[in-house]
Chains A and B, each alone.
Chain A
Amino acid sequence: MLCEECRKQEATVHFSQMVNNQRVVMNLCGTCAKRRGFSNPLKNIPFPLSDFLTSMVSESATKVDGQLTELTCPVCKLSYDTFAKTGRLGCGNCFEAYRQPLADLLRKIHGSNLHRGKRLRGGALVMEPLKEEARLKDELKKAIEAEDFERAAQLRDMVKELQEKLQAVTDV
């Protein structure tokens, strides 16, 4: 498995943390793990509120001396400096122009910089099982109301199985 951060070295540190009551796993190489201060798994990494966003952006701009602050998106002409002041990106291409500093920033904000949700034009991937799940849960509720506990247990297993499948699909 490649490091999620640099995508170059083999991931050797597997860090997991509870975020919003969900386990978030980060797979990092030794170098990236150390750089992010993840060497101590017991140390809690704070997830800052969006209010602190602009201060975080400007921090990321000043940290990587001069060089980075001179970056400008070739498409919309937004400079990283302006982004650091406003906290707003200029266009889709900004994500290409500032890929590395943004990857760092996004990880600081979200605890991850890798999308695990719906794909572009991948509606069915997420939505079909979702619909099925809602239907099963509805049926489960009815079974419980009707005190058909055998059927309810069956349905509960089906929901669980589906959720595991969903997890596998969205985790790739």
Chain B
Amino acid sequence: MFDQMAHKASSWLTAEGDEAAVVLSSRIRLARNIRGFTFPPYADPETRGNIVHFVRSAIDKSKELETGAFVSSDDVTEMQRAFLIERHLISPEFMRDQNASGLYISPDEKIAIMVNEEDHVRIQSMSSGLSLMDTLNRAMRIDDDLANSLEFDYDTDFGFLTSCPTNVGTGLRASILIHLAGLVLTKEIDSVIDHINKLGLVVRGFYGEGTDVWGNLFQISNQTTLGRSELDITESLEKITRQIIEFENKSRDRLLTEARDEIADKIWRAYGILRHARVLTSEEVMNLLSAVRLGAALKILDMVSIATVNKLLILSQPAHLQRYMGVELSPGDRDIARAKLVRDTLAELP
């Protein structure tokens, strides 16, 4: 399974779908627990093992999850775990220790189910571009399927019960991954983030820890999960996203009319470095790819597609690089391998 995945980007990052020039992907997560069992943060090994067993057999019975693979934490190496994190299939904390946990992945990687993360079951549904409703529908069908075999913890007042109070109710986290290079360049990003926060949504940088935002990629998600329906939460995220896309497109238009040469120069320089550099750190590659992505969206650069940029964003990360090269690499060697991967990928293009 890992070998097949190593050479291609996840299919929820193919730049297909609505608004793909700005929105990379849409994601829905549902948190569920099984009635009568201690939540994973406090569960003993036996309970954790039982939960993996229950969920696995529920997945086996599900029509929606007929194809796909289930991996147990016992069979996942540290390198494979890093690989799964880089593909956004699991959270960084997941499978970190020896405690029993498991992961289901659909063949197209649009569905991933974590067993014994912070909750017993975390259903994740991913799509390329802005496609929150379809992504929600898919997650709901899986939820229905699993609920046929599992009795979920539910309270008439509080809804679905979760380990962390911030997920109680719908257990739903809807999010989009968005490229706001225009707004960063026109320096309007802070006021836009401020605006998004005021609407009650959370904005996060993609790979960066703390305040660093790499590659001008932002994740926007709902903050509250209780008191509103799944449809409400998802629709309002979609509505606000469309508004942000409008802001971003306006700033891109402004860049084109007011500073066309400077922007074109920035984009072509980024392309030049990517095409010829011999050493590239992951931070540098993210920022250069951001410029090239903008160039592709603005049709300034026509030899690189947005899909290629999305693919490189994933494949240039450390665990993917090492899989690509087939050997373990020191950080310094990674930067050399990364530059080679980028050169090779861009050279293959017509």
Contacts and interface: CB of A to CB of B under 8 A. Distances in A.
- Do these two chains interact? yes
Interface of A: 19-22, 24, 47, 49-50, 53, 57, 76, 78, 86-92, 95, 102-103, 105-106, 109-121, 123, 126-127, 130-131, 133-134, 137, 166, 170
Interface string B35-56: 1111101100000000000000
B225 interface: yes
B224 interface: yes
A102 to B, nearest CB: 7
A112 B166 contact: no
B200 A21 contact: yes
Given A88-B118, A115-B169, A117-B229, A134 B35 contact: no
Nearest to B40: A88
Interface in B268-298: none
B165 A105 contact: yes
B230 A126 contact: yes
B61 interface: no
Contacts of B325: none
Interface of B is mostly: mixed
Given A20-B222, A117-B172, 16 more contacts: A19-B227, A20-B228, A21-B200, A47-B224, A49-B202, A57-B165, A87-B164, A90-B41, A95-B155, A106-B168, A110-B226, A112-B226, A115-B158, A119-B154, A123-B140, A131-B137
Given A113-B157, A120-B154, A90 B39 contact: yes
B79 interface: no
A149 B155 CA distance: 46
Nearest to A83: B165
A134 B136 CA distance: 11
Contacts of A118: 140, 143, 170, 229-230
B227 A20 contact: no
Given A21-B236, A47-B200, A117-B229, A86 B137 contact: no
Contacts of A19: 200, 224, 227-228
Given A22-B232, A57-B165, A76-B38, A112 B227 contact: yes
A123 B143 contact: yes
Chain B, interface residues (CB within 8 Å), range: 35 or more
A90 B43 CA distance: 8
B224 A20 contact: yes
Contacts of B166: 50, 53, 109
B58 to A, nearest CB: 14
Nearest to A120: B154
Nearest to A7: B157
B201 A20 contact: yes
A170 B231 contact: yes
Contact of A21 (B136, B141, B155, B240): B240
